[in-house]
Every structure is written in structure tokens, then in C-alpha cells.
């Protein structure tokens, strides 16, 4: 009876502290702005099943993924054993035998999983101390990550050892003797009466107290993700990957646009902070970080958490007034420097890798928006870019009147000339396709291919303006919305239904962001359209003797839109022999130009394009193929810098195909 009273007190205290920890977390999340994340429940559940329970993204690193998989599932299964032990606190003779035929398999599973968890924990500890993954020891990651992991792994080991001890001594005392408990049954004879009674009490109390301690440590540790990762995955954005949220610039009540501190983020962005496992996977694939820039996506997310934990309790208590030092600080500048934010190429590698679906890019763009829209702070080079976009509708200093000059002599129709009649497709040329001398050749190759395939197409000519991507990713939402709205008005006037674009940035914005502004079209990247034309025989490709080609994935067709096979299929169809770089497809390494980085200087560290060019050159290709004007420029510059531009050329997939059609 005395034990039941003591146990009831312990249980109640632990439960109250745990609930208090959870409520504190919920109150902190409510400091964020509201955001709707409860639509399409079926898709959300699917995400939870594959990403959280199936550990899909963790398994991208097979060894670490498998260890985590066993620890996670072990814990889920061992919850039944923990529940059993808690019930024994009230009813010492309790047994799971009431489950009938399910008892033996469950008991055997508990034993098996217990052994696997021990092996996984020991392997994880050995890995931490003898072969730590490089990603944990970047310049900004300190030993606290290892200490926290060690503490958690040791607590788990104690929980498992005490569980086996409880099972064995329980059997020694005459309870639940079953061969299904295949390990405990061999341990039981070690504990003969009367010592078994004492050992049972020791194991049972150790087990219970460590479980309760673990539970209450979680809300304050890096392992908080044990509680938050499932909800975080459930509330993952289901919008198209390439769509940034639209700011309501007409909102007179808005005090500011963008994010400078935690209250400017949504509750989900704050939850991201509390879900970060500190694993460093995002930073280990970040092109900016890996070439020596200050940016670390892991740090950005951890900074959001730190600042929320620092000021949140005072905001909730309404006592910030008595802590002027806290108010004098903010997330931007005091935690996250602008240099970090401007280094981001928005390549999405961090989000692709994050095992708990944290959304770094929207947070970075929100802070860029604040810098640009509220404080007019941005790299000097962007002043000219914004000016050009405003007056020439292109990031460069070219006259708008010359936008269609690239097509002189090619007999290309404009929408204005044909009134949109007898046109199957609008060819969206883009700024690079219109003005960049090198990339104009790709536009000309596209004209040849479309004409050969008998596609009735037209261009907008001088009615086409920059699609808005560089302004939007640079945080200038005003300028982006102006360009997008004007383009949508033009496209809708001609009742355009189908568009093909060669530039992945144009393609992504037209496809995923124009619907936010009333522009709904079927948008294809040129590699998708050309693949269809080759497959249906409308383009007949003559296979040339195989050149060794390596294809560089553009982030905006690859990670943002899942197009990986179309360009590769076209290269193979034209006789190319494909060589894959170590980082390719969804792990492709950015060229360094996305997120308006194309228009900024790269002063810190190694140039991203040099890193990528070196990776390509390792394969000794005859050619580097691209499907993006920015990638083409960056890699061509890289080849020049490496003195390799005479022997290796960068060509767009459309050019290679145009040369091989009969
Ligand atoms: S989007 Fe790319 S560049 Fe930006 S933080 Fe993520 S990995 Fe780094
Ligand atoms: S943001 Fe994701 S990938 Fe990056 S450290 Fe946190 S959990 Fe790991």
C-alpha cells in the first residue's frame, strides 16, 4: 500500500511537470502569426507515415538512418513495456497475458527490440566518439551536441537494461514465466529469492524514475524533436514546393512586411525551431556553407528557437518592460546577420535533406523581405538590379525595346501580331534568352526544334517582362508583384493556356506562383516538352557517336519541380554517354546563382561555381550539359577560371538536341 501511495505521488508529479512543459511549448508557439495548415488531411497523414514513422529522409544516410530507425521503432514498441511497468506500480501482479494469443508475439518483440535498441545505442555512442559524422563538427557546432546525445543515449540504455531486469526478476518471483521472453527467461535464474524481491524493486524504481526523468528532460533538450517531429511533419506545407507565400501589400493594418523577430514568423515556423534535431544535415549540403560562407541553415533554425526561448516567456508574462536588454535585441542582426541571409541561393538542398521537414527557405526569404521592404538594406549590387527591373523589366541594363531582337530573321510570330490565334503554345523566352548573347543561341535552337516538330508557337516579344523570380527571392515583393501582375494581365489578355520556358526560374514562377495572381496555365520546362516530342516521333533524333556528357541539375527544375529524367533521356537519345557527378539529382549541388545570387558579388569563401566545376571536371567529360541559363553562365565562368574552357564546353540540352535532329 505504501508503495502505491509513493508511486501515485511520483506519477502525478511527473505528469504535472510534463504537461506543464508541453503547455509552455504550446504557449510559445502561439506567439507566432496564425497560418492555416490543416487542409488535405489524407496527404498530411501520408507524410507522417512515410517521413516520421517510415523515416524516409533519415534513411537517405543508410547507416545513421538505420540506427535511428531501430531506436525510434524500438521506443514505440517499448512503450507497451513501459505501460506494463507503470500499471505494475498499482497492481504488482499485472500481466499482459490478458492479450491472449497476442501476448507471446508482443513479449518476444519487446525482447528483440530491446536488444536492437541496445545495439543501436552502443553503435551511436561509438560513432559519436570514434567516427563522428563531419556534419556535426562544422565551425559553429560545439561539443554540447555530443554531450546531449550522450546523455540521451545513456538514459535510453538505462531504461532498456532496467526493463530486462524488471522482466527477469518478475519471472523469478513467479510472474509471467514465458519462453517468449527469450532473453529475460535466461536471466531470471540469476535472481533467486529472497534477493529477487529487492532486485525487482531496484530495477522497477530505476526504470520508472529514469522514464519519468527522460520524459521531463525532453521539453528542454535538443531531443524535444521526439515530441515535436510528428506534428511538425503533419503540418508540413502542402503548397507547391516552388511557391513562396504571397504578402498582402494592400493590408493597411500591417505594421511591417517580412520578419525581423519571432512574432513575425508563423506558429509553424516557430515549431520548426523547436523541432530541429541539431543534426546538421542541412548545413552539410548547403552550397554556401560548404564553400566557406557564414550561412548555416541549421544555425538559422536554432537561432529562431534560441530567441523564442529567450524572449518568449517574458512576452507571455507581459514582463518584457522590465528587461530592456531583451527588447533592445531582435532575431535579425543580434542572432542572424544579414551576410548569412544574402549568401543563400534558395537551392532547397537543406529542406530536401532535413529529416523532420523544416522549412528554411521561406524563413530566409521572410527575413530578406524585412531587410528590403522595411529597412532598405540589401547588397549594393542589387540597387542596379532593382532599378533595371523597374525600368527595363529585366535585371540587366538593356533597353526593353530590344527584347525580341534575338529573333530577327527567324520568322518568329509575336502574340501581338497574331492576336493569339492559331497558336498551340506560348514560348516564354525569359530575360537571358532575350538578352544574353550566349543564351540567345539556346532560344534560336528552341525555334529550330519547335518549327521542326510543327508546333504553332508565338512569343510575347516586347510585351514579355521579367517573370519576377529574382525580385521575389531577393525579398523585393513589391517589385515582384508588379512584374507578375503585369505579365498575368498580358497572358490573360491573349487567353494563353500552354507555355514552355527554357529558364527554370521562369518555369517555376509561371507554374507555381502565377496562380497566386490569377494566372493559371499549363507550364512546361523545355526538357519536358522536347522529351514528349522525341517520344511521339515529332522530333527525329540522329544518334551521334557518344560524347561523354555530365548533366548539371538545376535546383529549380530538380528539387523544386522533380524534373530529373527528361534532360537525361534527351541527352541519351542524342547519343550522349552520361556521366553522373557525385552530387546529382535531388542531391545536386547548386551552381551558385539562384535566389538572385546571380546579381550579387560572391566575396566570402570559395566560389560555388568553382566547386561545382571542379566536381564536373573530375569526370573528364567532353561536355557539361545544362538546362538553365544561370547554370550555363556559372559553369562557363568556372571552366574559364579552371582554364578548361577550350576542351570542355557547356551546352544547353536544347542545343545538343537541335544539332542531332534530322
Ligand atoms: S537553400 Fe541552399 S543555400 Fe540556402 S540555406 Fe538552404 S542549402 Fe543553403
Ligand atoms: S534543420 Fe533539419 S537538417 Fe538542419 S539541423 Fe535541424 S533537423 Fe537537422
Cell of 351: 529542406
List Cα–Cα distances, 235 to 24, 228, 265, 561, in angstroms.
20, 11, 15, 21
Residue 498, SS3 per DSSP: strand
Residue 525, SS3 per DSSP: strand
| DSSP secondary structure, 184-197, as one string | HHHHGGGS-TTHHH
At residue 136 the predicted structure's pLDDT band, cuts being 50, 70 and 90, is: low
Residue closest via CA to ligand 1's atom 5 equals 297
What phi and psi values does residue 583 have, to the nearest 5 degrees?
-105, 105
Mean pLDDT of the chain: 93
Task: Check residue 81 and give its pLDDT.
Answer: 85
pLDDT at 141 over 60: no
Task: Check residue 137 and give its pLDDT.
Answer: 53
| Ligand 2 centroid, distance to 283 Cα (angstroms) | 8
433-486 pLDDT tens trace: 999 999 999 999 999 999 999 999 999 999 999 999 999 999 999 999 999 999
Q: How far apart, in Å, do the first and last CA atoms of the chain sit?
A: 92
273 lines ligand 2 (CB under 6 A): no
Mutating to test ligand 2, I would choose from 135, 137, 269, 354 the residue with most ligand atoms within 8 A of its C-beta, which is 354
| Ligand 1 centroid, distance to 349 Cα (angstroms) | 6
| Comparison of pLDDT for 264 and 100, the residue scoring more | 264
Task: Check residue 325 and give its pLDDT.
Answer: 84
Q: Which residues contact 160 (CB under 8 A, 6 or more apart)?
A: 78, 114, 117, 118, 121
Task: Check residue 202 and give its pLDDT.
Answer: 95
Task: Check residue 130 and give its pLDDT.
Answer: 86
365 lines ligand 1 (CB under 6 A): no
For cell 490565334, the residue is: 421
pLDDT at 143 over 70: no
Confidence (pTM): 0.92
Q: Which atom of ligand 2 is nearest to the CA of 225?
A: 7
User: Dihedral of CA 390/394/396/401: which sign?
Assistant: negative
| Ligand 2 centroid, distance to 47 Cα (angstroms) | 17
Neighbours of 255 (CB within 10 A): 7
Torsion of CA 351, 353, 356, 361, to 10 degrees: -10
290-331 pLDDT tens trace: 999 999 999 999 999 999 999 999 999 998 888 888 888 999
286 lines ligand 1 (CB under 6 A): yes
| DSSP secondary structure, 310-323, as one string | HHHHHHHHT-GGG-
At residue 597 the predicted structure's pLDDT band, cuts being 50, 70 and 90, is: very high
77-135 pLDDT tens trace: 888 888 888 998 888 778 788 888 888 999 999 999 999 989 989 998 998 888 877 66
Identify the H or E element spanning 136: none
657 lines ligand 2 (CB under 6 A): no
Q: Which residues contact 383 (CB under 8 A, 6 or more apart)?
A: none
Q: Work out the percent of the chain whose per-residue pLDDT is above 90.
A: 79
Q: How far apart are CA 542 and CA 529, in angstroms?
A: 18
Task: Check residue 656 and give its pLDDT.
Answer: 96
pLDDT at 73 over 90: no
For cell 530538380, the residue is: 558
Tell me which residue of 95, 92, 112, 94 sits closest to 103, measured CA to CA. 95
pLDDT at 186 over 70: yes
Which ligand minimizes its atom distance to the CA of 354?
Answer: 2
| Ligand 1 centroid, distance to 648 Cα (angstroms) | 28
| Ligand 2 centroid, distance to 351 Cα (angstroms) | 8
Task: Check residue 142 and give its pLDDT.
Answer: 54
| DSSP secondary structure, 8-60, as one string | HHHHHHHHHHHHHHHHHHHHHHTTSBP----S-HHHHHHHIIIIIIS-TTGGG
Which ligand minimizes its atom distance to the CA of 346?
Answer: 1
518-566 pLDDT tens trace: 999 999 999 999 999 999 999 999 877 679 999 999 999 999 999 999 9
Task: Check residue 316 and give its pLDDT.
Answer: 94
200-231 pLDDT tens trace: 999 999 999 999 999 998 888 878 999 999 99
Amino acid at each position: 500500500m505504501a508503495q502505491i501511495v509513493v508511486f501515485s505521488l511520483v506519477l502525478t508529479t511527473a505528469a504535472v511537470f510534463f504537461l506543464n512543459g508541453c503547455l509552455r511549448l504550446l504557449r510559445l508557439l502561439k506567439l507566432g502569426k496564425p497560418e492555416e495548415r490543416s487542409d488535405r488531411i489524407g496527404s498530411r497523414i501520408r507524410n507522417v507515415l512515410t517521413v516520421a514513422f517510415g523515416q524516409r529522409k533519415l534513411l537517405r544516410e543508410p547507416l545513421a538512418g538505420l540506427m535511428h530507425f531501430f531506436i525510434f521503432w524500438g521506443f514505440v514498441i517499448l512503450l507497451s513495456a513501459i505501460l506494463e511497468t507503470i500499471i505494475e506500480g498499482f497492481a504488482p501482479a499485472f500481466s499482459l497475458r490478458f492479450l491472449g494469443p497476442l501476448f507471446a508475439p508482443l513479449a518476444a518483440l519487446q525482447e528483440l527490440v530491446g536488444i536492437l535498441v541496445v545495439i543501436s545505442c552502443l553503435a551511436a555512442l561509438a560513432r559519436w566518439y570514434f567516427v563522428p559524422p563531419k556534419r556535426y563538427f562544422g565551425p559553429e557546432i560545439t561539443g554540447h551536441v555530443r554531450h546531449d546525445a550522450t546523455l540521451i543515449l545513456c538514459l535510453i540504455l538505462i531504461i532498456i537494461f532496467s526493463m530486462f531486469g524488471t522482466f527477469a526478476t518478475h519471472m523469478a518471483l513467479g510472474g509471467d514465466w514465458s519462453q517468449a521472453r527469450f532473453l529475460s527467461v535466461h536471466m531470471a535464474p540469476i535472481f533467486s529469492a529472497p534477493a529477487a524481491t529487492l532486485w525487482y524493486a531496484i530495477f522497477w524504481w530505476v526504470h520508472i524514475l529514469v522514464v519519468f526523468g527522460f520524459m521531463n528532460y525532453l521539453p528542454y533538450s535538443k531531443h524535444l524533436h521526439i515530441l515535436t517531429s510528428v506534428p511538425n511533419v503533419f503540418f508540413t506545407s502542402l503548397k507547391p514546393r516552388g511557391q513562396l507565400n504571397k504578402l498582402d501589400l494592400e493590408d493597411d493594418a500591417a505594421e511591417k512586411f517580412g520578419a525581423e523577430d519571432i512574432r513575425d514568423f508563423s506558429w509553424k515556423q516557430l515549431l520548426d525551431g523547436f523541432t530541429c534535431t541539431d543534426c546538421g544535415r542541412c548545413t552539410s549540403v548547403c552550397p554556401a556553407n560548404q564553400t566557406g560562407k557564414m550561412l548555416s541553415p541549421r544555425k538559422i533554425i536554432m537561432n529562431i528557437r534560441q530567441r523564442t526561448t529567450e524572449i518568449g516567456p517574458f512576452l507571455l508574462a507581459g514582463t518584457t518592460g522590465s528587461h530592456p536588454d531583451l527588447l533592445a535585441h531582435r532575431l535579425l542582426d543580434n542572432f542572424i546577420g544579414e551576410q548569412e541571409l544574402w549568401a543563400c541561393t534558395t537551392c532547397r538542398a537543406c529542406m530536401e535533406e532535413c529529416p523532420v521537414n523544416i522549412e528554411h527557405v521561406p524563413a530566409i526569404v521572410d527575413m530578406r523581405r524585412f531587410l528590403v521592404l522595411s529597412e532598405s538594406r540589401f547588397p549594393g549590387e542589387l540597387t542596379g538590379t532593382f532599378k533595371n527591373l523597374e525600368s527595363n523589366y529585366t535585371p540587366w541594363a538593356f533597353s526593353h525595346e530590344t527584347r525580341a531582337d534575338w529573333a530577327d530573321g527567324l520568322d518568329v510570330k509575336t502574340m501581338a501580331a497574331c492576336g493569339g490565334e492559331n497558336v498551340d503554345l506560348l514560348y516564354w523566352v525569359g530575360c537571358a534568352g532575350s538578352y544574353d548573347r550566349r543564351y540567345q543561341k539556346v532560344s534560336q535552337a528552341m525555334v529550330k526544334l519547335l518549327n521542326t516538330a510543327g508546333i504553332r508557337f508565338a512569343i510575347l516579344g516586347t510585351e514579355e517582362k521579367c517573370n519576377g523570380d529574382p525580385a521575389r527571392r531577393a525579398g523585393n515583393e513589391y517589385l515582384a508583384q508588379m512584374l507578375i501582375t503585369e505579365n498575368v494581365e498580358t497572358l490573360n489578355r491573349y487567353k494563353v493556356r500552354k507555355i514552355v520556358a527554357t529558364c527554370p526560374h521562369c518555369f517555376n514562377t509561371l507554374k507555381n506562383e502565377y496562380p497566386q495572381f490569377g494566372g493559371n496555365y499549363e507550364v512546361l520546362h523545355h526538357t519536358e516538352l522536347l522529351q514528349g516530342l522525341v517520344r511521339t516521333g515529332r522530333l527525329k533524333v540522329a544518334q551521334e557517336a557518344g560524347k561523354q556528357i555530365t548533366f548539371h541539375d538545376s535546383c529549380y527544375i530538380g528539387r523544386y519541380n522533380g524534373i530529373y529524367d527528361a534532360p537525361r533521356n534527351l541527352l541519351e537519345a542524342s547519343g550522349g554517354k552520361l556521366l553522373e557527378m557525385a552530387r546529382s539529382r535531388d542531391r545536386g549541388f547548386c551552381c551558385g546563382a539562384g535566389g538572385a545570387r546571380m546579381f550579387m558579388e560572391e566575396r566570402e569563401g570559395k566560389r560555388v561555381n568553382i566547386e561545382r566545376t571542379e566536381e564536373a571536371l573530375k569526370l573528364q567529360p567532353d561536355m557539361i550539359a545544362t538546362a538553365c541559363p544561370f547554370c550555363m553562365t556559372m559553369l562557363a565562368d568556372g571552366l574559364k577560371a579552371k582554364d578548361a574552357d577550350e576542351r570542355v564546353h557547356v551546352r544547353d540540352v536544347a542545343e545538343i538536341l537541335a544539332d542531332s535532329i534530322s
